[in-house]
Amino acid sequence: MAMIYKICRAAEWQDATRSGLFHGAPVDLRDGYIHFSTAEQVADTAARHFAGQSDLLLIAVDADALGAKLKWEPARGGTLFPHLYGTLPVSTALWVKPLPLDAAGRHRLPPLAADC
């Protein structure tokens, strides 16, 4: 199983749980796909795009369960990132965990599954 991760605001995920579908954060809607990161990428994603933000969640998803709508595309210097072209069914989330800040204002990640 290839695990990928989505960082989003808690309120965005709460809205998704009511409808059963996550349509994406504002940046996802703007770009036309839902941004994900691998275990190796998620810390850098948090630091670059969510620095100092609290009330965030980290959502783990089985990449294989997303089928052909998941594309691996170059970003940040050519590194391949997972992008979902479509909505994310809430039921595909394997787990959802808070992404708290440490005393230095950096996000404290839970243990992550290594990329497969």
Does the structure show a pLDDT above 70 at 115?
A: no
pTM of the complete model: 0.92
Does the structure show a pLDDT above 80 at 1?
A: no
Q: Is residue 112 part of a domain?
A: no
Helices (H), 32-99: 42-49
In this predicted structure, what is the pLDDT of residue 98?
96
Q: In a 3-state reduction of DSSP, which class is residue 12?
A: helix
Q: Is residue 42 part of a domain?
A: yes
C-alpha distances (whole Å) from 33 to each of 24, 25, 81 are 8, 10, 12
Q: Considering the chain, what percentage of its residues have pLDDT values greater than 90?
A: 85
In this predicted structure, what is the pLDDT of residue 114?
60
Q: Is residue 111 part of a domain?
A: no
| CATH number, domain with residue 58 | 3.20.170.20
How big is the chain by its Cα radius of gyration, in Å? Answer: 13
- Residues 81-93 have a mean pLDDT of 96
Quick one: which H or E segment has residue 17?
helix 10-19
Q: Is residue 79 part of a domain?
A: yes
In this predicted structure, what is the pLDDT of residue 31?
96
In this predicted structure, what is the pLDDT of residue 116?
39
| Signed CA dihedral, 58, 61, 66, 70: sign only | positive
The mean pLDDT of the chain is 93
Q: Domain of residue 43: give its range.
A: 3-98
- Smallest CA-to-CA distance from 12 within 60, 66, 58 is with 58
In this predicted structure, what is the pLDDT of residue 77?
80
pLDDT band per the 50, 70, 90 thresholds, residue 35 = very high
